[in-house]
Amino acid sequence: GAVVSQHPSRVICKSGTSVKIECRSLDFQATTMFWYRQFPKQSLMLMATSNEGSKATYEQGVEKDKFLINHASLTLSTLTVTSAHPEDSSFYICSAWDRAYGYTFGSGTRLTVV
């Protein structure tokens, strides 16, 4: 079946630094990639939608200058958390959509900002 590889699985960074999270679709081309954030014991909240070669569409309340999304190819999307602060600590999950496979989720990235 379809696999989305997400890295890193865990990252600890200092306040003020930037962190990049990568999601790769391994055996299919992801037309659309979704990025979610999940706080403990809460639901997945959609942050943004990205399509290859075009600018990401951000959900209301999500700062596009803080959460930079790049979808440079049909198999790779990246989320960069810029100038991270402790309140950005969360579980970030990507999900790729493809007509043949539907939604395939990455394994998630646990970000801790200290």
Partner 1 sequence: GQSLEQPSEVTAVEGAIVQINCTYQTSGFYGLSWYQQHDGGAPTFLSYNALDGLEETGRFSSFLSRSDSYGYLLLQELQMKDSASYFCAVRDGNDYKLSFGAGTTVTVRA
Binding site residues, partner 1, CB under 8 A:
6, 32, 34, 41-44, 46, 49, 57, 91, 93, 95, 97, 102-103, 105-108, 110
Cα separation, 25 vs 73, whole angstroms: 10
Q: How far is the CB of 76 from partner 1 (least distance, A)?
A: 18
Nearer to partner 1, 45 or 82 (CB): 45
Nearer to partner 1, 62 or 82 (CB): 62
Cα separation, 50 vs 78, whole angstroms: 10
Nearer to partner 1, 3 or 76 (CB): 3
Q: Which of helix, strand or coil describes residue 15?
A: coil
Q: How far is the CB of 66 from partner 1 (least distance, A)?
A: 21
Q: What is the 3-state secondary structure (H, E, C) of 54-75?
A: CCCEECCCCCCCCEEEEEEECC
